[in-house]
Amino acid sequence: MDNQATYDDVNLILKLYELRRDDRLREARKCFGGLKVKTLAELQAACPPGSEQDASVRMVTSYWEMAASFITSGVLNQELFQQSGGELLFVWTKIQDIVPELRKLFNNPKYLANIESVAKGMIDNMNRANPKAYEAYTARVKN
């Protein structure tokens, strides 16, 4: 079975969890979780370039982009990841409206593409159980 999770998948997920326990990353995740921005201008006002807040946002998004790249490259079993990787979906939900503007700003159409791809799979999976599940989730995350 090609899609069968392995012990390597489990060990990588445990390593990703261990990395999330790093004090600086915990602080960055706390900062990111409190963000309530809808536009690039609001993000730049809340997290001016070079600020600690900006560093926190970059740390969180780059961490989850890295984790998502393991899935999109086929190194990590997506189904197993989805069972415990809900924070990736939280991150995507917080920033998805701003990503097109960030891609233009950075002149990088692939910026955060791995997070987007994995999040879309998670959203599809969530909505299979209940077609309005992600809509309800989004309302909770953004309010």
Q: What's the average model confidence in pLDDT over 110-126?
A: 97
Condensed to tens digits (0 to 9), the pLDDT of residues 29-78 reads 999 999 999 999 999 999 999 999 999 999 999 999 999 999 999 999 99
Alpha-helix runs per DSSP H in the chain: 7-20, 23-33, 40-46, 52-72, 78-82, 86-95, 99-106, 113-129, 133-142
Task: Give me the half-sphere count of Cα atoms (radius 13 Å) on the Cβ side of residue 139.
Answer: 5
The per-residue pLDDT for 1 is 44
Query: Which position has the higher pLDDT, 143 or 105?
Result: 105
The per-residue pLDDT for 2 is 61
Q: What's the average model confidence in pLDDT over 73-99?
A: 96
CB-CB contact of 137 with 122 (8 Å): no
